[in-house]
Amino acid sequence: MQVPNGTLIALGGGDDDGLLRLIRSELCSSNSHIEVITTATLEPMESGQAYKEAFEELGCQSVRFMHIDEDNEPDKPEYLSRIAKAEVIFFTGGNQLRLKEFLAGSQLHQLMQRRYQEEEITIAGTSAGAAAMSDRMIYEGHSYHSLQKGEVKTTNGLSFIQNVFIDTHFTERGRFGRLAHVVTKRPEFIGIGLGEETGIIITGGNHVEVFGNGVVTIMDGSHVRYSNLDEVEEGEPIAIENLVMHLLVEGHEYCLSDRHFRKISQQKRKTSSET
């Protein structure tokens, strides 16, 4: 499998000032072209203008936003041209199903995927924009029902990364159950739960490093010895034995390929901050 040259950054929602500062300080220059995609939100002008101003306050001089929906098709020549030269693509929060409905499978989406694989581009998102990054995404499952069979729904995402479920607002909205549910059903997937104001940087499509003040929860269903998912009826509670879970904070990372948790050495952090 090809190792992507691009970087993914996913934030769990909440205040995203830290994410914007991270992008500006470590991943782009003042002249980098930044495109904000407002498709997930129902207030595109307000959201797009707010992010434009926030990036500009950090010194970014080339920030634009585009809204893609039923009235604004994605494959306009202008949009394709802008995405072709963007160095940062940022997806806002809102409803991740809108990203699938209006963007997935378009020429614009395919261009983003190709550039992520081949070039040193940064694709970032918060809340819905983070949840939609993988090939499968969770879009439904209330915390108090999520450990009942059939209550958690998933669908195709934007497929920048494979075999990962990214869930957002994780601790604040009690989403432990729904992530446990999906990785037990699909053990080839790693579950990543992002607390608010907390996120991950994924490099090489494999190495996951935490940033922010909160906790990132990793769930691994590959060691489950037993679950009753195939035995119970829809709406009945599920049982799971030996679900593996890790809690990561800033200064820690996780390798998706070997499913390994590690603390980042001081030397590595120092080297990273100097490059």
pLDDT truncated to tens, each residue of the chain (275 aa)?
689 999 999 999 999 999 999 999 988 889 999 999 999 999 999 999 999 999 999 999 999 999 999 999 999 999 999 999 999 999 999 999 999 999 999 999 999 999 999 999 999 999 999 999 999 999 999 888 899 999 999 999 999 999 999 999 999 999 999 999 999 999 999 999 999 999 999 999 999 999 999 999 999 999 999 999 999 999 999 999 999 999 999 999 999 999 999 999 754 544 344 44
Cα gap 97→171, rounded to integer Å: 22
- Burial class of residue 152, CB neighbours in 10 A (0-12, 13-18, 19+): buried
Closest CA relative to residue 12, chosen from 132, 118, 114, 125: 125
Distance (Å, whole) CA 67 – CA 43: 10
| Residue range 127-183, pLDDT digits in tens | 999 999 999 999 999 888 899 999 999 999 999 999 999 999 999 999 999 999 999
Rounded CA-CA distance 208/141 in Å is 25
The C-alpha atoms of residue 187 and residue 169 are separated, in whole angstroms, by 22
One of 3.40.50.880, 3.40.50.1100, 3.90.1150.10, 3.30.70.100 is the CATH number of 7-274, namely 3.40.50.880
d(CA 130, CA 231): 33
pTM of the model: 0.94
On whether the CB atoms of residues 218 and 246 are closer than 8 A, the answer is yes
> Which residues share a beta bridge with 117?
none
Query: Which residues on adjacent β-strands are paired with residue 164?
Result: 190
